[in-house]
Every structure is written in C-alpha cells, then in structure tokens.
Structure 1
Amino acid sequence: MLQALGLSPPEDAVYTALLARPSASAREVALQAGLEEGESDRVLLDLAARGLVAVAREAAVLGPDSADGGAGPRSARYRLTPPSVALAPILAEQRNALHLAETAFSKLSEQYRTTAARTAGGVVEVVVGVEQVAHRFLQLQRGAQRELLVFLVGEPTAVPREDTDTSESSALDRGVDFRVVADKDYLTGHEVVRDVRQAVAAGLVLRMAGSLPLKMVISDRERAMVPLDMTDSGGEPSAIVVHPSGLLTALVHLFEREWAQGRPMFTPGTGVHEVPAGDPVPTGEELEVLALLLAGFSDRRAASELGLSIRTVERRVRRLMDLSGVESRLQLGWHAARVGWV
C-alpha cells in the first residue's frame, strides 16, 4: 500500500502491522508482519529514525542486548506517528519531484519539436526491424491520452494480435477516444469477428471500408505511424513515424474522409434506444449477420466469418425482414438505418 511512497515491502508490512494496534514490541510486529525478528528490529529502528514511528521504552526492563544496563531494542515498544504528520512530507516531496519531471519532459519535448521543425529529417522517423516496429507501435498506442485513429488492413506483420488487443484495452480503460476504420478483408475468421465485437462492446467505434490504401495509427493527432513495403528494407518490416507537419495533417484528413464514408459496424446497444417501446428487436447474433451483409459480405462469406452455416445466415436474415415488415434486403437495409440497428 505504501510502496508508492517509497517504502520497501518489509517497511510497508511493518507499518501496516502497527496500524492494527496502539503499540507493539519488535517481536509482536515480526509475528504480525510475517518477518524475522531481527529484520523487524532493523526496519522499526529505520522507520523511527525517519519519523514514521515513535519509540516508547518501557520502564527498567533490561534486554539481553543492552550493554549499558538500559532498555535495549527488544524491550522497546513502538507506535505509529500520525500519518498526517509523518507521511504528508513524503507525499509533498514526491509531488514536487513529479512536477519537476513533468516540467523537464515538456521542455525536452518542445525543444525536440522545435529542432525537428528546422530540418526535413525531423518530420519523418524511419523504424526498421520487427522489434523496433512493434515497440514504436505499442508506444504510440499506450502513450495516447485523448484519441487514437486507426486503419486496419490485412494481417499483422510486426505486432502480434494479442499485444495489439492488450494495448487497445489499456487505451479504452484510460478513456481514450478510439476510432477504427477496417478494410472489409480484415474480418477474416470467426475469432477476428469475435475479438472485434468485444472491442466494440468495450468502447471502440468501428466502421468498414471497401478498401483502404494503407495501415496507419495516429496518436493524439501528434504522431502517426505508417508501415513501409518490406522490400524497402531488405525484407525486414519497417515503418515511418510522422511528427507534426503538413504530412501528419494530410494523414488525419485521410482518416476523417474514410471515416465519413465508412459503414458503422457492431454498434453496442443498437436496436434498443431508437425502436418504439413494445416493438420486437433483433438479437445480437442477428445484428452480427446484418452488419456483415451491410458491409458488402455475401451470405457465404458472412457464414464463414461467423462460423455458421449458410442456412443459419439466411434464417437470421429472414427473421430480420419479418421484424422489419419488409419484403426485400434493400428495404431491410433502409429500415435498419432508420431505426438505429446499425
């Protein structure tokens, strides 16, 4: 609990043990904290020297380690100094240190941007190699504080899908606005569709495009990463990281254009808030089929991606049409858009 304030695990354990009693001997603290008695003695004396605990020696009990006839460490009893008195200075010191670190970080970042702006080479950073590309990609995703804009195209070449999923979850947990445009061919396989559906349920917003010109991730509109053709670096995966510049602005505009033209997919909660009360609503499985069909998938392709038979897909489409009261798939698409199913 207190390791964030700079206490070691044994110090944390001793301090926590003293919280439960008004005073205790080193032996009692050792039993409570699960430490050896000698280690408990050392930690207590160190905490006392730092003002975190106070020593209240008991009257005239000679300990075996007392060479001068006085009460030794084993005869002492310890009590906590009030946390508001003992821990507040430590907290204030760490806050000041963090403030200084943030100030230094801001100055270094500004100096780097200023220097980079003076040279064309500072606009684009070339990254070569699997480990370097993966590290830089995850660094961009995990460093985002406000917004992530992503183009998904094809299979991952440098970053394992599980690492990407972890960094996505971390960004969503931080409240980052996460928008993704995926190439239609990206949804290959039932597992990919399932993972995408889970990400959307967690807050990611997804749209589909017929095709995209490139893979891309843009972090906070301050940096972008675009993979390069592997042949450009002798067969190794490579990418460019684009810093603030006209090129970065163009990449943001490209994303927004594809986003505006993309088709919404797997919208969480669809079919509930915009449907009149009492009307039947489609199931999540039926909405999965509908989303793929609206993205341009054939019945056969949708069945393959969802791990279903074509008959099941057709049956779910038929039920959607019955719920909508329409006679054709074209009418179904219009109805789905009108009532907010997609």
Structure 2
Amino acid sequence: MSKVGVFPASGGLGGSTVQHLLPLVPASNLVFIARNPDKLAAESRQGAVVRRADYDDPSTLERVFEGIGALFLISYASCEHEHRSKAHRIAIDAAIRSGVKHIFYSSLAFGGNLRKESEALVMQAHLDTEAYLDELARSPAHPNFTYTVIREGLYSESFPIYTAFFDPAAPVDEIKIPHDGSGPGVAWVKRDELGEATAKIIATYVHNPLAFPYLNKTLLLTGPKVLTLAEVVGILGKIIGKSDIKIKKVSVDEYTAQPQNPANLTYHGEDLSKKWATAWPAIANGECSVVTPLLRDTLGREPEDVETTLRKLLA
C-alpha cells in the first residue's frame, strides 16, 4: 500500500478528510502536511507522519512529498486567480518530482455539470489546475501519472460569504447582495460529509489502484437538494426566530461598499469584494444547481439536509 499525503491537512476540508482517513488507512501510511504542524499533534500520536509546508513558501514544497504515492491536494484558500493557479502548479510539479503517482485535487462545484468554464472568479484557478493535471496525465513525459479532480459542493456552513456575511448573532433585516435570492439555487452540502466522501474515494484508490474507477476523471459531489439563497435565508430566520429577513438585490458597487465585505474578502492586501461578486451571476445561471448521486452513494446514506446542518452549527 502506497503512502497517502494530505496538503494542507489542518484546514476545514483537509481536517475533515484527515479524520475520516484515519479509520480507513493505517496511520503509518498517512502523511499530513500543514503550515502549522502543531495542529496535527493528535494525528502524529496516532502514528501518522506530520510534515511542514506552506503554499506561500515554495521552498518548503520541494521535498515534502517524498515517499508519498497518492496526494490529496487541497486548493489554496483564497478567491484569487493567478496567485492560486501558480501556487497549485508549483505544488503539483514538486509532488511529481518527488514521485507522487496520483493526485486528488479539491476543486469547487461551480461550472454546472462539469463544464470547463465559469462566470465565477473563484472557479478560475480551479479550472486552470484541472486543465494542468489533465495536460500532465496526457504527457509522454509522465506516463505513470494519473489524477482525480473532485469538485466539492458549496458548503452549507459557508452561507455567510453568499449572504454579505450575515451574522445570526446580530441579524439585519435586509441582506444586500447582487442577486434577488430566487432560483436557480445551490445544491448545498455539509463540509464534513464532503471530507468523509473524499476520504472514502481516496481509500478506494489506495487499496486497489488498478481497479480504481476514477483515474483521470472529474467528479462532482453535491448535496441532495437545491435550495435558493432566499430559502436558505428563510431557514436561518426560522432557526434564530426572525422571520422578516429579506434579500435586497443591489448593484455590485453597493454590495462592495458594505464594510463587512472588504473586511472579509481582502487577500494579500487586495480587496476582492468586486471580484467575488462574480459568484452571483454564476449561481443565477445555474452553475451550482446540479445534483449528483455520488455523495449519497459514497457515504452509503442520505446526506444531511441544510436545515439540520445549520441548526447544529448555530446551536
């Protein structure tokens, strides 16, 4: 059995995948890589190898993937385009030089039913990375390299970024975004169930690479039902006991002028609020409204519904 690496392994999706991998793959075959290895002390005590690397310090990537056969590469945490694409490419190149044979890549569920285009800025680096992995797998220079892209559904827990950072602890009456809240909606999904399904897919490969059905494929993991932004806001209002919360469609300029947006959407000193606003036309065009059975089939049960997830989150 080849060793499995996860990088970065201490974030939301990475941490969830790590916890679900531990019962499926012997800890001695797991290598968890993070910017802050101290966050993985418990996993180290269980027998996993823990290493340090940082997307923003390419020198740390040069040998960190040595001894790893299959790598789960989680995307750089930002909605930037060029910087993310470059960071992903550097990590992929370092992994291949170190002998990694298969890369699982966490993409995002914009782009509808696996289309190779999207209106959303946040999807552009993912599309670049998907294309680069496919290019490498087709290259005669890398005859033994394969990949699996997993387009992870939009997290139910990520509702703040789609609702102008609505705060249930200090609720406003009006959520001002460049979208009217109507359909098409989003096939929302619980983040931990994405981590669980991703871990099961990785474990399937590790236990029998030759029979793995998703070599050089792109997968789409979604929730079981599409809900509009207005329906999600209605659920939030129901949970916190405030039934009069409304979505007001505003211009992109009015959206970005709200102070909470630059405060939460500034990366490397650049306010990306206006670029992030490209997510709403993508949602309006149905890019996030595709439902697939793969999550349910991989989990072996019905995925958790949005209201249940949000009630637990806000309890």
Shorter-normalised TM-score: what interval?
under 0.3
Kindly name which structure, 1 or 2, has the bigger radius of gyration based on alpha carbons.
1
With the length of structure 2 as denominator, give the TM-score of the two structures: 0.25
Higher relative contact order (CA 8 A, sep 6+): 2
More helix by share: 1
With the length of structure 1 as denominator, give the TM-score of the two structures: 0.24
